[in-house]
Homo-oligomer: A and B are copies of this chain.
Amino acid sequence: MAKLKSEKNSASEEEKRPVSLSKQDKRTINQIDSMAEEVCKVAQRHKEPLVAIPTRSLSNIRFNQSRRILEMGNKRTNRELFNVGQAKSFMQTMLVASGTKQLIEMGKTTSIRGLYYMLKHDIKPTKEPTFHDQGECDPIIEDCEVLLDSLREELHLFADKRGDMVGNLIIEDNGDEIDCSRMGSGGYAIPSIVEPNVIKFKKCTAKFVLHVEKNTVWQRFNEDKFWKKHNCILTHGAGQPTRGVRRLLNRIHHELKLPIFCLLDNDPWGYYIYSVIKQGSINLAYESQRMAIPDACFVGVRSHDFERCGLSESVKISLNDTDRKRAKQIMEYPWFARKKDWQKEIELMLKNGFKLEVEALISRNISYMTEEYVPMLLKEGKFLD
């Protein structure tokens, strides 16, 4: 059986071609180099090599009331090479940092699974693998993000991509000009890395973004050309939006100065999605300043909509114990706890005893949500903050 070996002068030559690094790439490489130099310096002074990693646990996360985003505090934990309990993770940290540096220098990106495969090998002459499984690699990647003050995307790592966009916006993606108002029924698939070196905004006439929870709802709004009639951009995240979608919304909001309106289910999961878009995620608080959109608004579905929109009895979905528990937890999040309107909103859902999906509006008529409901809400302009 023929072995599949490199053809001479094909791929290898390609790889030798010097890659022109963006400003951002240079900064990231600097971060990695400084960290490595620091470790070496300590070793040369015959001290124990270590890195001080910002603590990612809940105890080191706080809600910054003035910036209105989740932030990490200043706590750090030392990770030492000459410590039996930390030696492995110390070495893994160096390995991940070095792997991402390689990626940046090659001008390539990969998934976190790809990086795991790139770095996984047995440490010879032992049979000890660098990582037993991906579950061992992923937290180290997150450690490197905080240690190097670099988003995963800046380390050339991408996540799964989900979520599409249409609307009055022209972008440039890797040199290709894409007119999001000419994307048919399918739409432009939002990539996982949407940093300025990949995605550039060329022309935007839209006045706001409508972000909807599900792709089926997005399809309804796109089919009814809502974005054309109301001069906006229409996005969805197929549930909890990916980092790519959140980062893109963040950039559109800050760079193009467009408000972000969210149309989500009237249930604890919808509230949670809103919370992540607006304030950031508790697990990944360090990325909030690049991802969170504290001025995002919740347009619906609202707890009073069942009555207000005259929906039929049959669209109610009874709350279960998990829903009630989750709703109460969310009410206590600091950024919801101080807002009377949100307290009332969630209390009313609990009092109703049922939740409502966006699709429940279809029971009025198929285009009620696109032609009556959202237009009326936009006209009124009374959103939940």
The answer to whether B191 and A189 touch across the interface, beta carbons within 8 angstroms, is: no
Separation in Å of the A375 CB from the closest CB of chain B? 8
Across the two chains, which residue of chain B brings its CB closest to A173? Answer: B184
**CB of A215 within 8 Å of the partner chain:** yes
Tell me, in angstroms, the Cα distance from A354 to B106 when the chains sit together: 31
**CB of A198 within 8 Å of the partner chain:** yes
Q: Interface code A177-193, partner B: CB below 8 Å = 1, 0 otherwise?
A: 11000111111111111
Across the two chains, which residue of chain B brings its CB closest to A182? Answer: B176
Across the two chains, which residue of chain B brings its CB closest to A361? Answer: B117
Partner-binding segment picked from A288-296, A304-312, A336-344: A304-312
Known: A4-B372, A372-B6. A359 touches B313 (CB 8 A): no
The answer to whether A216 and B360 touch across the interface, beta carbons within 8 angstroms, is: no
Partner-binding segment picked from A51-59, A70-78, A158-166: A158-166
Tell me, in angstroms, the Cα distance from A45 to B124 when the chains sit together: 85
The answer to whether B198 and A191 touch across the interface, beta carbons within 8 angstroms, is: no
Known: A4-B309, A367-B108. A190 touches B182 (CB 8 A): no
The answer to whether A108 and B223 touch across the interface, beta carbons within 8 angstroms, is: yes
Enumerate chain B residues within 8 angstroms of A117, measured Cβ to Cβ.
315, 357, 359-360, 362-363
**What number of A residues sit within 8 Å (CB to CB) of B?**
84
> Contact partner of A366 among B4, B114, B314, CB < 8 A?
B114
Enumerate chain B residues within 8 angstroms of A360, measured Cβ to Cβ.
117
Tell me, in angstroms, the Cα distance from A5 to B161 when the chains sit together: 38
Tell me, in angstroms, the Cα distance from A220 to B14 when the chains sit together: 15
Tell me, in angstroms, the Cα distance from A307 to B4 when the chains sit together: 10
The answer to whether A1 and B362 touch across the interface, beta carbons within 8 angstroms, is: no
The answer to whether A371 and B186 touch across the interface, beta carbons within 8 angstroms, is: no
The answer to whether A161 and B11 touch across the interface, beta carbons within 8 angstroms, is: no
> Contact partner of A109 among B178, B219, B309, CB < 8 A?
B219
The answer to whether A366 and B118 touch across the interface, beta carbons within 8 angstroms, is: yes
**CB of A24 within 8 Å of the partner chain:** no
The answer to whether A189 and B189 touch across the interface, beta carbons within 8 angstroms, is: yes
The answer to whether A173 and B183 touch across the interface, beta carbons within 8 angstroms, is: yes
Interface centre among A10, A188, A198, A360 (most CB of B within 10 A): A188
The answer to whether B176 and A183 touch across the interface, beta carbons within 8 angstroms, is: yes
The answer to whether B178 and A120 touch across the interface, beta carbons within 8 angstroms, is: no
**CB of A122 within 8 Å of the partner chain:** yes
Known: A110-B220, A372-B6. A308 touches B189 (CB 8 A): no
28 contacts between A and B (CB under 8 A): A3-B308, A7-B372, A11-B365, A11-B371, A14-B371, A108-B224, A110-B366, A111-B359, A113-B216, A114-B220, A114-B366, A117-B363, A118-B363, A120-B314, A120-B315, A121-B314, A122-B314, A129-B314, A160-B215, A164-B189, A175-B184, A176-B183, A178-B186, A186-B191, A188-B188, A189-B189, A191-B219, A192-B219
| Chain A interface residues (CB < 8 Å from chain B) | 1-7, 10-11, 14-15, 103, 106, 108-111, 113-114, 117-118, 120-122, 129-130, 158, 160-162, 164, 171-178, 182-193, 198-199, 215-216, 219-220, 223-224, 238, 304-305, 307-310, 312-315, 357, 359-360, 362-363, 365-368, 371-373, 376, 380
Q: 9 tightest CB-CB pairs across the interface, nearest first?
A: A173-B184, A111-B216, A11-B371, A189-B189, A186-B191, A176-B184, A117-B362, A176-B182, A185-B191
